[in-house]
């Protein structure tokens, strides 16, 4: 069967990575989390004093982009994908609220996007991948054979993020999370470079009232239909 590229884009916290991961596992494809790459750049900025009260030190970051190497590897036990920043496991650190607060400003910088997009295209060279993000179907892989655009209401998304943090045993404030979700939606949709938008040929998936199983079936059915047609 022909191997294809699957692009899953959409708003923050609507469960894209969960669905992309399970789809990749079910069909034997590799999964790539493009958001984790922007998060790793944000973490690099926090760790290297490139964030101050005025915001991101853009000129300094531009000159240090060549020091940022992002890769992924599979956890030997859980098989989940782990994000490495310069060879170090940063999977947990990149999910902090501190990183979430600045990541969308960093993802709006043209030189950061150019660098990440180049790396993402390399990851898709051999096909057989599922990649999730904001601009995968529009900019990174405009020719992807399967494109899905996921959405859900901001309140549903904030509640999911809240439940996820509580389940991890950490503290969370629902209103703070909702505010962060809405703020990132705004930045992602209004930025000049690669704004978040549904590709014309992407299928819309509103999962506000869908269970994980229903979602999984929806994606599998679509995948089978597309690969049969290829
Ligand atoms: O998991 P969540 O949806 O909250 O976000 P993420 O996928 O981890 O991505 C973090 C941030 O990176 C997003 O809020 C976007 O601002 C940015 N991003 C992007 O601009 N382009 C992508 N392809 C992926 C993420």
38 Cα: distance to centroid of ligand 1 (angstroms)? 7
> What is the structure's pLDDT at 75?
87
DSSP string, 111-168: HHHHHHHHHHHHHTTT--EEEEESSIIIII-TT-SEEEEEE--HHHHHHHHHHHHHHT
> What is the structure's pLDDT at 175?
97
Domain ranges of the chain: 5-229
Residue 12 near ligand 1, beta carbon < 6 Å: yes
> What is the structure's pLDDT at 148?
98
Contact of 116 with 34, CB cutoff 8 Å: yes
Residue 107 near ligand 1, beta carbon < 6 Å: yes
> What is the structure's pLDDT at 197?
92
Residue identified by tokens 């629902």 is 174
What CATH number belongs to 5-229? 3.40.50.300
Nearest CA to ligand 1 atom 9: 35
Residue 138 near ligand 1, beta carbon < 6 Å: no
> What is the structure's pLDDT at 221?
97
Q: What is the pTM of this model?
A: 0.90
Helix, strand or coil for residue 99? helix
Tell me the average confidence (pLDDT) per consecutive run of 10 residues in the chain, 230 residues long: 94 90 94 97 98 93 96 88 96 94 95 96 95 96 98 93 92 95 92 92 94 94 93
| Separation of alpha carbons 181 and 195, rounded Å | 16
| Separation of alpha carbons 61 and 46, rounded Å | 11
């Amino acid at each position: 069967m022909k191997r294809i590229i699957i692009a899953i884009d959409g708003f923050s916290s609507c469960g894209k990575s969960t669905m992309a991961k399970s789809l990749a596992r079910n069909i034997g494809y590799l999964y790539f989390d493009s958001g984790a790459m922007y998060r790793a750049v944000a973490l690099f900025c926090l760790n290297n004093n490139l964030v101050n009260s005025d915001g991101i030190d853009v000129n300094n970051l531009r000159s240090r982009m060549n020091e940022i190497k992002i890769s992924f590897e599979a956890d030997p036990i859980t098989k989940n994908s782990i994000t490495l920043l310069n060879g170090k496991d940063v999977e947990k650190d990149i999910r902090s609220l501190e990183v979430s607060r600045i990541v969308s400003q960093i993802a709006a910088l043209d030189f950061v996007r150019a660098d990440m997009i180049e790396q993402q295209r390399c990851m898709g060279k051999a096909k057989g991948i599922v990649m999730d993000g904001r601009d995968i179907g529009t900019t990174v892989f405009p020719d992807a054979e399967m494109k899905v655009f996921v959405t859900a209401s901001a309140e549903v998304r904030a509640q999911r993020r809240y439940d996820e943090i509580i389940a991890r045993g950490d503290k969370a404030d629902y209103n703070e999370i909702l505010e962060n979700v809405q703020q990132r939606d705004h930045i992602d949709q209004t930025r000049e470079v690669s704004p978040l938008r549904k590709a014309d040929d992407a299928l819309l998936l509103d999962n506000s009232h869908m269970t994980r199983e229903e979602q999984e079936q929806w994606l599998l059915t679509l995948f089978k239909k597309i690969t049969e047609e290829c």
